[in-house]
Amino acid sequence: MARFILSRLLNGLAVLLGVVSLVFYLFQVLPGDGAQMTLGQRSDLASLQSVRRELGLDLPPLQRYLLYMNDLSPISIHQAVEGQAYAQEHGGILLLNTKDKILLLKHPNLRRSYQSRQPVTEILSSALPGTLLLALSAMLIAGLLGITLGSLAAKHAGTSIDRGIQTVSVLGISVPSFFAAILISFLFGHLWREWTGLPMTGSWLLTDPFEGPRPAPTHLILPAITLGIRPLAIIVQLTRSSVLDILNRDFIRTARAKGLREREVYLRHILPNALPPVVTAISGWLASLLAGSVFVEYVFGWHGLGKVTVDALMNFDMPVVMGCVLLVALFFVLINVLVDLIHAWLDPRIRLQ
């Protein structure tokens, strides 16, 4: 098992390297200038050249890539004089010190934002809790309701209950997220606010001038429901088909012939065998929601990674975009490894060699 986890993490490291290389290359071919976006449209040539030198944008693309990877790597090489200043600013353990070069062991450096000059790690740390809270809440709603409704549809297959649940799930799959966000925000946050009491927009923290930041749980309800609609519809369909497949197996008939109650048959035999494909879907959707909640965050004014990424793209702020993409890719890698372990726990027939 340890060898399997290590091999998957190494594969994930290769994926992260590919993601960094691809996004960095796209920034080289896309039209845009980080220095121009930093200074604005009325900047003079001398100021632009000064900012380009400061940000390293005057260097060849390959050299910029190697320097970025050097900052990102936990072991980095620096010139002696520059390395001492780098070590003082970013910390680290000195591994090797020669006349011209020094070798540092440090945490990955995501650099600073072109726009705010704020460290990217601080920007991500302020946005990540909002995205995690929103994505986990949406998946909790989608997972619990999806497994329940899918099992109910399978139990009453061919009846009006089954047809009604399937119709609603197909509708949930078909509605685009941005349209659902606008519609739900307008109906429940504006038109029917007197009855729902839910705000149309707002983030997970409110800043009170007297009490300071405080949580706002009512702001989470509408965006979490909106974000969970599509995974809910997929989970309903998967659970229904998986439960129907298990219901026709011989060991289910044997369990019932032994006199087990229907609740025990479902919890001990049907659900554990029907869950593996559902768990795979939930994991994939969770990673997707961490990366793809852009429209929902924008419509509801929710502060998270999606909104930060779009703002950075509009300003051609490469360090922030690279940090967001790397963080999302890391989530995908870790969630995939976790899902493999959950599969082995749910189904003893699965053997990880």
Q: Residue 149: its pLDDT value, please?
A: 93
Q: Residue 9: its pLDDT value, please?
A: 79
- pLDDT by residue (tens digit) across 184-194? 988 998 888 88
Q: Residue 1: its pLDDT value, please?
A: 64
Residue 135 maps to a domain:
yes
Residue of 115 and 124 predicted with greater confidence: 124
Structure tokens at 216: 């706002």
Percent of the chain, pLDDT > 90?
A: 12
Residue 18 maps to a domain:
no
Residue 38 maps to a domain:
no
Q: Is 23 exposed, middle or buried (0-12, 13-18, 19+ CB in 10 A)?
A: middle
Residue 80 maps to a domain:
no
Structure tokens at 56: 């390293």
Measure CA 176 to chain center. Answer: 19
Q: Lowest mean pLDDT of 163-172, 241-250, 328-337, name the range.
A: 328-337
Average pLDDT for residues 123-129, to the nearest whole number?
A: 90
Residue 89 has pLDDT above 50, yes or no: yes
The pTM of the full predicted model, rounded to 2 decimals, is: 0.78
Residue 169 maps to a domain:
yes
Residue 99 maps to a domain:
no
Strand segments (E) across 22-109: 75-79, 93-97, 101-105
DSSP H helices, 156-292, are 160-174, 177-186, 193-196, 218-247, 250-257, 262-265, 271-292
CA contacts within 13 A on the Cβ side of 230: 20
Residue 284 maps to a domain:
yes
164 confidence band (pLDDT: 50, 70, 90): very high
- Domain tally, the chain: 1
Q: Residue 352: its pLDDT value, please?
A: 47
State the CATH number of the domain containing residue 260.
Answer: 1.10.3720.10
CA distance 344 to 329: 24
Q: Residue 236: its pLDDT value, please?
A: 93
114 confidence band (pLDDT: 50, 70, 90): confident
Q: Residue 156: its pLDDT value, please?
A: 87
Residue 73 maps to a domain:
no
Residue 216: give the domain boundaries. 120-346
CA distance 216 to 189: 15
- Mean per-residue pLDDT of the chain: 82
Q: Residue 83: its pLDDT value, please?
A: 63
Q: Residue 144: its pLDDT value, please?
A: 92
Average pLDDT for residues 241-260, to the nearest whole number?
A: 84
Percent of the chain, pLDDT > 70?
A: 88
Q: Lowest mean pLDDT of 21-25, 235-239, 331-335, name the range.
A: 331-335
